Structure 1
Amino acid sequence: MSITDRYGLPITTSSPVAAERFQDGMDALLSFGVDAEQCFAKALQIDERLAVA
């Protein structure tokens, strides 16, 4: 099963939780949120092979 973001673009992870944290990070980044880095760090903690974070 391929995991995608809300726009249908592939996310290189097998973890739905890591994908959610990555999407949270992208949302924060695009809205100039201060917690984008924390969201990306959480995604990498869950799946250190997540290539996009």
Structure 2
Amino acid sequence: NTTTTRTVRQALRAARNLVQIAAGVMTVMKEDDVTTSHTAAVTTTAGDPISKLDPT
């Protein structure tokens, strides 16, 4: 559970948990959809980019 080491658990969180993109930063949440797991810089293009993923 550290943001300095990449883990399989962190990779899978992006596929199943809440993911938000705001102001060029993607935030991947832990299983409670409240606590941040890790963040990443995001580059977007013109148009209508995705800003949030919330699997149910």
Question: What is the TM-score with the length of structure 1 in the denominator?
Answer: 0.29
- Larger-gyration structure (1/2): 2
Q: Which has the higher strand share?
A: 2
Q: Which has the higher helix share?
A: 1
Question: What is the TM-score with the length of structure 2 in the denominator?
Answer: 0.28
